[in-house]
Structure 1
Amino acid sequence: MKLRSSEWFENDNAELTFQHRSAMRAMGHNPESFVGKPIIGIFNAWNDFNSCNYPHKELVEHVKRGVLLAGGYPIEMHTISTPADFMKPSDLMYRNLLSMDIEESIRSQPIDGVVLLCECDKTVPGQLMGAASCDLPTLQLAAGHRSSGSFRGKTVNYGTDLWKYSDDYKAGLLSHDDWKELEQSISCSLGGCPVMGTASTMKSMSEMLGMMLPGTSSIPATHASRKMAAESTGKRIVQMVKDHLTPSKLMTESAFHNAIKLLAAIGGSTNAAIHLTAIAGRFGIRIPIERYEELTEGIPLMVNLQPSGTHSMDDFFQAGGLQRVIRNLLPVLDSDCLSCTGETIARTYGRELPRFQGEEEVIATLEAPFKEQSGLAVLKGNLAPQGAVIKKSAVSPELFKHRGQAVVFNDYADMLERIDRDDLDVTPDSVLILRNCGPIAMGMPEWGQVPIPQKLLKQGVRDMVRISDARMSGTSYGAVILHVAPEAAIGGPLAIVQDGDWITTDLEHSTLQLELPDEEIASRMAVWTKPEPQHKRGYPRLFAEHALQAPEGCDLDILRPNSKEEAVFVPPVVGRG
């Protein structure tokens, strides 16, 4: 087996070999210890702002031990991190920057195999995008989800319960002292959100795509099995280098189709539609937005987790976790796809699992699901010519079909200024419109779950139709239509909606319609003025100039190949630096 790293350390050019080995010696790496062994780059994305990824500060040592035990040589490297709680206005655009960080670090350095340490929302897809562009043997290891909290004797989960209690606080049902107490008790440990938000969703997608060891995506951050998973990941990646088991052999078009079906079964985040499309695009695989609805036709909700259900990720793990879901879902999957073990998913997940008391309350079967309606509805019409999405399992049933008059917020600042005013002309049947929050305008932040106006919260309203060109947190819920494309800032029809316009939504028929004649829409567009760019320089400007729309995954056009044939890893020329 000829290792890629041998170009640096066993080159016929004696001067280059001398230079590279000498540089390693300076850091205490004896060439006798690593030359001829697979060098595993372990990419660590923790920092002191990222509570989700923070466990990797310790877990990386267990990965290194696994690599050494398997005969490889570990090299820890650090990348930018994407702490969703702190990155403003949007961590989505930094997903792409993270992918570039990963790709170029792999491409330019003597690495034979890769371990990616992930958890927080955009870390998982960003890492997979970078790995896809390099196509060296790669595995991901998640940090795991945090523990549920406790508030006034009730279990509370960071994310979904936060939105519910926030509505209660604004409605006057929760005092200021209650609110401060909740702040201290809802999130008391490290790791990702303990519900089926974007982090848990994308970890599940990674395992389904063969990029994470089977059974490891749903282990809690505080469980000892998480450390053992880290060691096993280190061991397995060394063998994957020897077997040349690369991402392109795992993340095939059929594997992405399996992931989309799993997305429906777990009631996963709407963000996954952007992320899966972006990852697939790095291989030259195109996933039309309609595919998210077509592939999930008839696939029900099989997981009773917040925000689509009631339980937490701890309950999910104790009920058998993702392994049980995939096993129950196998009849509708392409079971010939490979897992990272090198076996088919039929062999990997088809084995009998131990039974757990109460598991049927958390994980269901295809024959007896929790909800018949799941997956993403892809809505099209004159308001969203390129499509918009909504999570069916999180929508109040009475809002599956709706007609109401628009209440328009021109941007996020406008919404914040007016949403809770007593003179806001709004009723429970209104359709709240938020625009100029898409990828080009603002980097597409998670602003799409427009708050219920305070005056309606006090009346007991907890859901209403909301439409935007933004995203929303995977922990959120409600009749929220997202990712409207084209976005308003580039002249999408959302840009010309006015207060009082009638809008109809119909999930059953996948339509989103502005009740205006084509002539009126054209007349309004003729006098519409494109807004000034928000960013004048730096990476945000680069993102705004090159970002694709939501149905294309919001990747940068310069990072995507035009075809599968162009998706070829270009090795560096190893010479003097």
Structure 2
Amino acid sequence: MSTTPGTTETFSGKRRQESPEADSLRMGCGWSRGTTGKPWILIETTQGDSHPGSIHLGDLAEFVEKGVLAADGAPAHYACTDICDGIAQGTAGMDYSLPSREVMTMACEMHANAGHADGAVFLSGCDKSLPAHLIAMLRINRPAIVVPGGVMDSGPEGFTLEGVGTMYAKKRRGELNDTDYEFLRSNACPSSGSCAFFGTAATMQMLSEAMGLAQPSTALIPAHLNALKDSARSAGTRVLELISEDLRPRDIFTQETLENALIVHAATGGSTNALIHLAAMAQEAGLDFSYEKVNEINRRVPFILNLKPSGRFNCNMIWYAGGIHRILWELRGFLNLNTKSVTGLTLGENLEILDRTGHFQQMPGYLANYGATVKDLIRPVSEPLAPTGSIRVLFGNLAPEGAVVKVSAWLKDQNDTAEKKIYAARVFDTQQVALEAIFAGKINPGDAIIIRYEGPAASGMPEQFYVTEAIASNPILATSTALITDGRFSGATRGPALGHVCPEAARGGPIAVVEEGDEIEIDLNACSLNIIGVKATNHPNSVGENTGTKASSVDDIAQILQMRLDEWVAPRPKYNQGLLGIYTRCALPVHEGGGLSTL
């Protein structure tokens, strides 16, 4: 039965009345006169040769089209491909990564609004494309579904892309020969789909389903399975029903949904980048997002997911364990089960159906192929990997507005958060210089590597992945140093890495005036990050010049930091033109999502 409303009742119908050329141009694309009166469905993908996570999406979009046609809709294909964080990693190209999210979001907005779409199906699966599509759904706010693009296979012995950074660091240290290095590098990405470690792409696929914006059991499907095609076809059919039901993304993404997402993120050790994207979604939808809420949730939600980089397994196995809803089933005592989803049912109702139909019992049969069980991957909340969540947000005189750390990827024993750790600052204004210092043996136990001018307003907020891998792959540095930056990290990051320091250096945050040798205290239990000792030179209470005396009282340190800030001069902008010129001038702070200010 057709779900087609009357011609002037739809968004496209009203626009067609205003634009008599619209039908002519659609028919020039192969539509019939009868097709133009049906609901217009935008099929938006990031199809392109940009990376394995997008290269297959054009083929997948054909299955969405089949679903749309079966439901008597009029499909139209649009695309804005993404860049690959892995290809850009460690180069100036990485400065484009977070800004690219804004470009794709605006492209979707443009395609939907100028193309008169009544509804949309978004196909994406990687670090910035899926967040862009989720933000675009909320901005457009017409019936829509996300189809996550699936996950690639693992390489030899479970090797995945994030291991290349580790192998590179070992090669630089003379611990790995060229032949083995090239073999692993050549086989790290053996198929299409997003990377098989639990990084940003996998985290955002998971959260899109957990938030009800993707259909149940459609996130992190191994990309080679027919189930991925079925999910695409089903989305094409379902979006026509959403139009009839007038169920819109902002009806689904509510304050309770956002809290559910933060709970799932805490329990799974998801990428810290997800906090940026969730903040941006909240900004778009007019919801409240706060780091205080993140900490409150992480104090009460256990950590239960055993996936790399925080755990043992690759994320291409999670669908075999019952998928994201199997995680939600385990967490159901913590979640708001009355939130809506694109199925038209609540989260609780979706879970009940999957349980009643045997989904959770049948799917783990796949795990037998790997000699694994559901409990190996998803621990019961009564037997968690750790009693508290995977994330801490630290505050203090070095990060008045917060700094984010994934403790699940740092501490072997996540209960080991009570010990205060004190470090001596080693200050770098770029990650490249810091990386060379590490490889040159110039970083010692007890050092805190400060990398600044890498925030949104400075350089677009690139990831610092190769620095974190150089530290984490070194047994001595991994247990005796820390990295603190106003930049961000790859979802693959492990080890002692604190990022998202805010205010950032380029906007006059305290990190801009940290000096060599300043004493920095990290207290994970108290969620604090403070400078506790500074050179007292030029302070009224100092004894002579360059005495090396340390000021350690809170008041003295506050005075010295303020003196430094009063004398601080902002560096010349790194970018003045083009996309990065616009982004660095207009970017919101990271705790507000790092989007573009419209003020």
TM-score, normalised via structure 1 length: 0.91
**Change in 2 beyond 3 A, CA 1:162/1:301:** farther
1:462 corresponds to 2:468: no
**How far apart are the structure 1 equivalents of 2:473 and 2:258?**
40
Q: Does the CA-based 8 Å contact 1:100-1:130 persist in structure 2?
A: yes
Aligned to 2:109: 103
Shift of 1:47: 1.1
Residue 12 (structure 2) aligned to one of 2, 5, 11: 5
Aligned to 1:565: none
Aligned to 1:144: 150
Query: How big is each residue's C-alpha offset from its partner over 1:323-368, in whole Å with a ceiling of 9 and x where there is no partner?
Result: 1001111111111001110111001013422152511111112111
User: Is the partner of 1:140 in helix, strand or coil?
Assistant: strand
1:354 corresponds to 2:356: no
Structure showing the higher helix proportion among its residues: 2
**How far apart are the structure 1 equivalents of 2:28 and 2:107?**
25
Aligned to 1:393: 408
Shift of 1:309: 0.3
User: Is the partner of 2:462 in helix, strand or coil?
Assistant: coil
Q: Does the CA-based 8 Å contact 2:45-2:79 persist in structure 1?
A: yes
User: Is the partner of 1:213 in helix, strand or coil?
Assistant: coil
Query: How big is each residue's C-alpha offset from its partner over 1:302-321, in whole Å with a ceiling of 9 and x where there is no partner?
Result: 11100110001222121112
**Change in 2 beyond 3 A, CA 1:326/1:459:** closer
Aligned to 2:71: 70
**How far apart are the structure 2 equivalents of 1:452 and 1:102?**
35
**Change in 2 beyond 3 A, CA 1:548/1:313:** same
**Change in 2 beyond 3 A, CA 1:373/1:323:** same
Residue 164 (structure 1) aligned to one of 163, 166, 179: 166
**How far apart are the structure 1 equivalents of 2:166 and 2:289?**
34
Give 1:404's aligned amino acid.
Answer: Y
**Change in 2 beyond 3 A, CA 1:385/1:458:** closer
**How far apart are the structure 2 equivalents of 1:457 and 1:338?**
43
User: Structure 2 matches for 1:239-254, cutoff 5 A?
Assistant: 239-254=241-256
**How far apart are the structure 2 equivalents of 1:458 and 1:96?**
36
1:293 corresponds to 2:295: yes
Q: Does the CA-based 8 Å contact 1:163-1:476 persist in structure 2?
A: no
**Change in 2 beyond 3 A, CA 1:77/1:452:** closer
Aligned to 2:315: 313
Aligned to 2:437: 418
User: Structure 2 matches for 1:405-554, cutoff 5 A?
Assistant: 405-422=424-441, 424=442, 426-447=443-464, 450-451=467-468, 460-463=476-479, 464-516=481-533, 517-554=557-594
Aligned to 1:93: 99
Aligned to 1:331: 333
Moved more, 458-467 or 245-254: 458-467
User: Structure 2 matches for 1:48-63, cutoff 5 A?
Assistant: 48-63=49-64
Query: How big is each residue's C-alpha offset from its partner over 1:131-176, in whole Å with a ceiling of 9 and x where there is no partner?
Result: 21110011111221110000xxx221222x2333333323322112
Q: Does the CA-based 8 Å contact 2:468-2:497 persist in structure 1?
A: no
Shift of 1:395: 1.2
Residue 129 (structure 2) aligned to one of 119, 123, 131: 123
User: Is the partner of 1:110 in helix, strand or coil?
Assistant: coil
Shift of 1:372: 2.1
Runs (4+) off by over 6 Å:
456-459
Residue 260 (structure 1) aligned to one of 255, 259, 262: 262
**Change in 2 beyond 3 A, CA 1:397/1:86:** closer
Shift of 1:243: 0.7
**How far apart are the structure 2 equivalents of 1:60 and 1:8?**
25
1:178 corresponds to 2:180: yes
**How far apart are the structure 2 equivalents of 1:416 and 1:461?**
13
User: Is the partner of 1:515 in helix, strand or coil?
Assistant: strand
Give 1:462's aligned amino acid.
Answer: A
Give 1:495's aligned amino acid.
Answer: A
Residue 20 (structure 1) aligned to one of 19, 22, 29: 22
**How far apart are the structure 1 equivalents of 2:34 and 2:423?**
72
Tell me how many residue pairs correspond in the alignment: 546
Moved more, 397-406 or 336-345: 397-406
**How far apart are the structure 2 equivalents of 1:368 and 1:444?**
37
**Change in 2 beyond 3 A, CA 1:453/1:107:** closer
Shift of 1:82: 3.0
Q: Does the CA-based 8 Å contact 1:301-1:371 persist in structure 2?
A: yes
Aligned to 2:378: 363
Q: Does the CA-based 8 Å contact 1:89-1:442 persist in structure 2?
A: no
**Change in 2 beyond 3 A, CA 1:101/1:266:** same
Aligned to 1:84: 85
**Change in 2 beyond 3 A, CA 1:515/1:449:** farther
User: Is the partner of 2:86 in helix, strand or coil?
Assistant: coil
Q: Does the CA-based 8 Å contact 1:452-1:462 persist in structure 2?
A: no
User: Is the partner of 1:385 in helix, strand or coil?
Assistant: strand
Shift of 1:232: 0.6
**How far apart are the structure 2 equivalents of 1:201 and 1:451?**
19
**How far apart are the structure 2 equivalents of 1:53 and 1:452?**
26
Residue 324 (structure 2) aligned to one of 322, 327, 331: 322
User: Is the partner of 2:405 in helix, strand or coil?
Assistant: strand
**How far apart are the structure 1 equivalents of 2:176 and 2:148?**
35
Query: How big is each residue's C-alpha offset from its partner over 1:38-57, in whole Å with a ceiling of 9 and x where there is no partner?
Result: 11100111111222111112
Query: How big is each residue's C-alpha offset from its partner over 1:212-267, in whole Å with a ceiling of 9 and x where there is no partner?
Result: 01110021111110111111111111111111110010001110000000001111
Shift of 1:416: 3.7
Q: Does the CA-based 8 Å contact 2:422-2:446 persist in structure 1?
A: yes
User: Is the partner of 2:572 in helix, strand or coil?
Assistant: coil
Give 2:508's aligned amino acid.
Answer: G
1:384 corresponds to 2:399: yes
Q: Does the CA-based 8 Å contact 1:84-1:120 persist in structure 2?
A: no
Q: Does the CA-based 8 Å contact 1:448-1:469 persist in structure 2?
A: no
User: Is the partner of 1:41 in helix, strand or coil?
Assistant: strand
Shift of 1:459: 6.5
**How far apart are the structure 2 equivalents of 1:488 and 1:503?**
17
**How far apart are the structure 2 equivalents of 1:132 and 1:535?**
30
Shift of 1:418: 2.7
Give 2:429's aligned amino acid.
Answer: N
**Change in 2 beyond 3 A, CA 1:448/1:408:** farther
**How far apart are the structure 2 equivalents of 1:183 and 1:293?**
37
**Change in 2 beyond 3 A, CA 1:452/1:345:** closer
**How far apart are the structure 2 equivalents of 1:126 and 1:452?**
27
**How far apart are the structure 2 equivalents of 1:224 and 1:23?**
35
User: Is the partner of 2:285 in helix, strand or coil?
Assistant: coil
Moved more, 381-390 or 22-31: 22-31
Shift of 1:457: 6.3
Q: Does the CA-based 8 Å contact 2:435-2:467 persist in structure 1?
A: no
User: Is the partner of 2:68 in helix, strand or coil?
Assistant: helix
Give 2:361's aligned amino acid.
Answer: P
**How far apart are the structure 1 equivalents of 2:219 and 2:473?**
37
**How far apart are the structure 1 equivalents of 2:225 and 2:255?**
34
Q: Does the CA-based 8 Å contact 2:158-2:314 persist in structure 1?
A: no
Give 1:275's aligned amino acid.
Answer: H
